[in-house]
């Protein structure tokens, strides 16, 4: 396994990870975030439309030990700056319901979509 992809800093951010940019056409929607750099590096990887690409990118990142909060923090760091609280996965896990551990949510009534 390539250590560049899996080593993490003290905030739990990997050196780099894949992300999906919504709103872009299939084949042009997968990018790589590199820690400490501004902007993303677009790839030529075609993983399908946004939803299909998101599922596959999540699987790739999961296999490398990169959770959804770290992936989101990497994208935020590249787009809004590395000093932003959004670039810290611990902040996201504490404040954003999408990344919170199950905190009694299993006792809530399910919402059907």
> pLDDT digit string (tens) for 4-30?
445 677 778 999 999 999 899 999 999
Task: Give me the residue spans of the domains in the chain.
Answer: 3-107
pTM of the model: 0.80
Rounded to whole angstroms, how far apart are CA atoms 66 and 7? 10
CA 42 – CA 14 distance, rounded (Å): 18
**What's the pLDDT at 7?**
65
Distances in whole angstroms, Cα of residue 88 to Cα of each of 47, 48, 85, 94:
27, 29, 5, 10
DSSP states of 74-112: HHHHHHH-TTSGGG-HHHHHHH-TTTS--SSGGGSPP--
Per-residue confidence at 100, pLDDT binned at 50, 70, 90? Answer: confident
List the Cα angle 74/29/55 in 5-degree steps: 75
pLDDT in tens, 49-92: 999 999 999 999 999 999 999 999 999 999 999 999 999 999 99
């Amino acid at each position: 396994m390539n250590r560049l992809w899996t080593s993490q800093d003290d905030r739990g951010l990997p050196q780099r990870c894949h992300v999906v940019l919504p709103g872009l056409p299939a084949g042009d929607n997968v990018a790589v975030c590199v820690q400490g750099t501004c902007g993303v590096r677009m790839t030529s990887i075609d993983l399908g439309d946004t939803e299909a690409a998101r599922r596959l990118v999540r699987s790739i990142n999961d296999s490398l030990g990169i959770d959804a909060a770290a992936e989101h923090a990497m994208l935020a760091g590249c787009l809004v700056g590395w000093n932003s609280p959004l670039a810290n996965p611990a902040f996201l896990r504490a404040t954003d319901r999408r990344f919170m551990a199950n905190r009694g949510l299993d006792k809530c009534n399910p919402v059907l979509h």
